[in-house]
Amino acid sequence: MGDALTELDARELSDAVRRGETSATAIVQAHHRAMDRGADLHAWLCRTDDAALAHAARIDDARDRGGPLGRLAGVPIGLKDLFVTRGIPTTAGSRILSGWIPPYQGEHARRVDDADMVLLGKLSLDEFAMGSSNENVVGEPVRNPWARDRVAGGSSGGAAAAVAAGMIPVALGSDTGGSIRQPAACCGVVGLKPTYGRVTRSGMIAFASSLDQAGPITRSVRDAAAVLEILAGRSDGDSTCVDAPVPDFVAACERGAKGLRIGVHRRSLDADGLDDDVRARFLEALALLCDRGATLVDIELPHAALGIATYYVLCAAEAASNLARYDGVRYGARVAAASVEASIEASRSAGFGPEVRRRILLGTFVLRAESYEAYYGRAARVRRLVADDHAQAFAHCDVIATPTAPQPAFRLGERNADPLAMYLGDIFTVGANLAGLPAISIPCGFTRPDRTPRLPIGLQLVGPAWREDAVLAAAAAHEDGSAWHRERPPIAADETSPASEPST
Amino acid sequence: MTGLDVDDLEALARLARLTVAEEDRATLLRQLGEIVGYLDALAAVEVDGVAPWEPSAPGAAPLREDLAAEALPVEPVLAGAPAAADGLVLVPRFVES
């Protein structure tokens, strides 16, 4: 199949390996070529080419011998570089962890390995997952495959760009305030944030522990469902990860939209700063779902406008606490100084980038005794009000639909001097994190033809807690009625060689 | 600026074990002032009697079995330390002899 292998989704690839129509080795080689072609996107922090080929050879050998194969055998995957990988550098995109090679395997890396997915490397991110543009980096920012002068979104920008560009069919990202869904929207791919507690956080470097959740970025909804089944389930390393049966999420994708009640918060569509094309594609996506049997329900989310303020108080506070562990003593980079206190301060100041330092200072501010009750204490209570709003809305609907981001991908550098403007772009995504709800972003079209560059737009669907099945069913119904998920950016479409005979 | 001044910034930096370079102070103060000003919107919300949010787990948080497990191998752990010798992490001197 040559490089046409990079056009297939994860389940198709795995089926092809299982049937002997191609080999895991051929699949990995095809994706390595795509990684070479897309090197200017700067999506990868680390490639593991030799280990990937060795792993693929073991899978091919097992298949040839008739041995057992994992759930997604031979499917290439990339991990955002805050998933801990034994023997492979894991930096969280930060200087302070430069050179750290984990002595243990994180749970996500173990689960995808158990499924015989082949790790191709570690993906770029905003430092410690703090950012919405993948510009808070040590090296080069990630570029959007659809337009090189645009951001890929963040913080899982490397993951979304790599999936969109055909370098991998599956990436794992993390989502604290939209960091899976917003880059998925910017790059025209699928991004799923599970319910808080559905997927372990053990083996994922912490940013804000009450908000962080790992999830897949893929090119199809059904692939996202299949990967969620691999990731979900009890974890001995994380007591917030529930011990509950993992539903058949792939089967849920076949339910269709008939009878689906979609909640729409009309007031949020009137907000300043909502791009005309984003509004238009969102309304078209609703119309498509209604054509397939869904109905719309107007809902109220009275505290939605407070989501950003609530989120940034809580995530900054948790980041300040979580990142206190980086002191240059036991692991990571150390700056020598006259005293241990001076060494810690120098190591942290040199090791953290500007946005991380800003959020640590903000978190320290909202947690200090003088301001704790006015900021942290209050935000923790407003979070309850935001969650209650969603619970009341779900009494009348099965999912809530919003645009994923208020604008398509913005220009590199456009918001770097104005962190508040960057934060406000999270307006539609933070609610699901605050309320701990599952949410997905799926492609729903592009900017209008007379506007250049042509940029993808995302539709967000949010479900009640533990109802990823409802979210996936609605998303798959949209996908079944559209072809947006099959669009490829120029790097994947123009430079991919035509399909050839299957290799064995 | 919402009440944040240079002294506040220095105090926060000390608490956070960070150094703020003099040339960064004005920009950082302006940015933090704008952000904190935005966060002040929370002050208008009525939260009396509202309990902080907690995750809605469908069951009790599971506890793992209390079993002995293997410790991490020493060599790769030390390889990730900034300085090590004789099987130990070398830490910055904190007691004068």
CA distance B70 to chain A (A): 11
Q: Number of A:B CB contacts under 8 A? A: 172
Which has more pLDDT, A164 or A417? A164
Tokens of A102: 């984990």
**Does the distance separating the beta carbons of B35 and A103 come in below 8 Å?**
no
d(CA A430, CA A444): 20
Q: Determine the average pLDDT of the residues in B66-84.
A: 92
Within a domain: B21: yes
- For residue A362, give the nearest of B35, B53, B93 by CB distance: B35
**Does the distance separating the beta carbons of B28 and A435 come in below 8 Å?**
no
- Chain A residue with CA closest to B53: the answer is A384
- For residue B76, give the nearest of A101, A339, A346 by CB distance: A101
d(CA A13, CA A74): 7
User: Exposed, middle or buried, A144 (CB in 10 Å: 0-12/13-18/19+)?
Assistant: buried
Query: A193: which strand partners?
Result: A439
Within a domain: B36: yes
d(CA A444, CA B48): 41
What's the confidence (pLDDT) of residue B64? 82
Alpha-helical (H) ranges within A84-219 are 107-114, 157-164, 181-187
Q: Determine the average pLDDT of the residues in A356-372.
A: 97
**Does the distance separating the beta carbons of A419 and B12 come in below 8 Å?**
no
Which percentage of chain A shows pLDDT scores above 90? 92
d(CA A144, CA A43): 9
Tokens of B83: 């300085």
Render pLDDT for A48-80 as a digit per residue (tens, 0 to 9): 999 999 999 999 999 999 999 999 999 999 999
User: Exposed, middle or buried, B37 (CB in 10 Å: 0-12/13-18/19+)?
Assistant: middle
Structural domain harbouring B26: 6-44
Which DSSP helix (H) or strand (E) runs through A87? none
Of A357, A344, A133, A136, which Cα lies nearest the Cα of B21? A357
What's the confidence (pLDDT) of residue B92? 84
Contact between A146 and A451 under an 8 Å Cβ cutoff? The reply is no
Active site residue A156: no
Domains and CATH numbers, chain A: 2-305+381-493 (3.90.1300.10)
Render pLDDT for A10-50 as a digit per residue (tens, 0 to 9): 999 999 999 999 999 999 999 999 999 999 999 999 999 99
Read off the pLDDT band of A384 (50, 70, 90): very high
- For residue B89, give the nearest of A330, A341, A434 by CB distance: A330
Question: What ipTM does this complex have?
Answer: 0.94
Tokens of A209: 């522990």
Of A388, A380, A401, which Cα lies nearest the Cα of A477? A401
Residues 6+ positions from B78 with CB-CB distance below 8 Å: B84, B87, B88, B89
**Does the distance separating the beta carbons of A375 and B39 come in below 8 Å?**
yes
**Does the distance separating the beta carbons of A340 and B91 come in below 8 Å?**
yes
- Chain A residue with CA closest to B62: the answer is A239
d(CA B36, CA A420): 10
With a cut of 50, say whether residue A496 has pLDDT above it. no
CA distance B54 to chain A (A): 8
Catalytic residue, chosen from A14, A23, A80, A94, is A80
What's the confidence (pLDDT) of residue A492? 53
> Residues 421..460 of A with a Cβ closer than 8 Å to B: which?
423, 434-436
Contact between A285 and A445 under an 8 Å Cβ cutoff? The reply is yes
Q: Which residues of B touch A234 (CB under 8 A)?
A: 62
What's the confidence (pLDDT) of residue B59? 62
What's the confidence (pLDDT) of residue A491? 62
What's the confidence (pLDDT) of residue B94? 82
- Chain B residue with CA closest to A326: the answer is B17
Report in angstroms the alpha-carbon separations of A372 from A365, A477, B30, B31. Answer: 8, 45, 21, 20
What's the confidence (pLDDT) of residue B6? 95
Q: Determine the average pLDDT of the residues in A348-363.
A: 98
Which of B8, B35, B63 would best serve as a mutation to test chain A binding (most A beta carbons within 10 A)? B35
Read off the pLDDT band of A504 (50, 70, 90): very low
How many structural domains are present in chain B? 1
Q: Which residues of B touch A239 (CB under 8 A)?
A: 61-63
Alpha-helical (H) ranges within A399-467 are 419-424, 430-435
d(CA A86, CA A90): 9
Render pLDDT for A458-484 as a digit per residue (tens, 0 to 9): 999 999 999 999 999 999 999 999 999
Q: Determine the average pLDDT of the residues in A209-235.
A: 97
Q: Is A237 left (phi over 0), alpha (psi -120 to 50) or beta?
A: alpha
What's the confidence (pLDDT) of residue B95? 82
CA distance B35 to chain A (A): 6
- Chain A residue with CA closest to B48: the answer is A381
Within a domain: B71: no
**Does the distance separating the beta carbons of A331 and B45 come in below 8 Å?**
no
**Does the distance separating the beta carbons of B18 and A357 come in below 8 Å?**
yes
Within a domain: B39: yes
What's the confidence (pLDDT) of residue A499? 36
Within a domain: B34: yes
Q: Which residue has the tokens 């919003």?
A: A402
With a cut of 60, say whether residue A456 has pLDDT above it. yes
Chain centroid offset of residue A286 CA: 23
**Does the distance separating the beta carbons of A334 and B92 come in below 8 Å?**
yes
Please count the other Cβ atoms lying within 10 Å of the Cβ belonging to residue A9: 20
Q: Which residues of B touch A358 (CB under 8 A)?
A: 28, 31-32
What's the confidence (pLDDT) of residue A108? 98
What's the confidence (pLDDT) of residue A59? 98
**A349 interfacial to chain B (CB closer than 8 Å):** yes
Within a domain: B35: yes
Tokens of A293: 């049997």
3-state secondary structure string, chain B? Answer: CCCCCHHHHHHHHHHCCCCCCHHHHHHHHHHHHHHHHHHHHHHHCCCCCCCCCCCCCCCCCCCCCCCCCCCCCHHHHHHCCCCEECCEECCCCCCCC
Catalytic residue, chosen from A133, A179, A202, A235, is A179
Query: B37: which strand partners?
Result: none
d(CA B12, CA A24): 53
Please count the other Cβ atoms lying within 10 Å of the Cβ belonging to residue A67: 10
With a cut of 90, say whether residue A487 has pLDDT above it. yes
Of A33, A35, A39, A31, which Cα lies nearest the Cα of A55? A31
Active site residue A98: no
Render pLDDT for A279-320 as a digit per residue (tens, 0 to 9): 999 999 999 999 999 999 999 999 999 999 999 999 999 999
Within a domain: B14: yes
Q: Determine the average pLDDT of the residues in B51-62.
A: 75
Render pLDDT for A68-127 as a digit per residue (tens, 0 to 9): 999 999 999 999 999 999 999 999 999 999 989 999 999 999 999 999 999 999 999 999
Tokens of A265: 């918060």
Active site residue A80: yes
d(CA A494, CA A278): 27
**Does the distance separating the beta carbons of B42 and A310 come in below 8 Å?**
yes
- Chain B residue with CA closest to A89: the answer is B80
Query: A481: which strand partners?
Result: none
Cis status of the peptide bond prior to A453, with omega within 30 of 0: yes
**B39 interfacial to chain A (CB closer than 8 Å):** yes
Q: Determine the average pLDDT of the residues in A271-283.
A: 93
Within a domain: B59: no
Tokens of B44: 């208008």
User: Exposed, middle or buried, A495 (CB in 10 Å: 0-12/13-18/19+)?
Assistant: middle
Which of A241, A381, A466, A468 would best serve as a mutation to test chain B binding (most B beta carbons within 10 A)? A381
- For residue A242, give the nearest of B57, B72, B73 by CB distance: B57
Contact between A179 and A171 under an 8 Å Cβ cutoff? The reply is no
What's the confidence (pLDDT) of residue B2? 55
d(CA A240, CA A486): 36
Contact between A495 and A30 under an 8 Å Cβ cutoff? The reply is no
Render pLDDT for B77-94 as a digit per residue (tens, 0 to 9): 999 999 999 999 998 888
With a cut of 60, say whether residue A494 has pLDDT above it. no
d(CA A178, CA A155): 8
**Does the distance separating the beta carbons of B59 and A242 come in below 8 Å?**
yes
> Residues 69..88 of B with a Cβ closer than 8 Å to A: which?
72-73, 76-77, 79-83
> Residues 140..179 of A with a Cβ closer than 8 Å to B: which?
none
Q: Determine the average pLDDT of the residues in B64-73.
A: 90
Of A425, A431, A402, A408, which Cα lies nearest the Cα of A267? A402
Q: Determine the average pLDDT of the residues in A424-428.
A: 94
- A103 by DSSP, 3-state: which? coil
With a cut of 80, say whether residue A349 has pLDDT above it. yes
Q: Using only the alpha carbons of chain B, give its radius of gyration.
A: 23
**Does the distance separating the beta carbons of B51 and A352 come in below 8 Å?**
no
d(CA A178, CA A399): 17
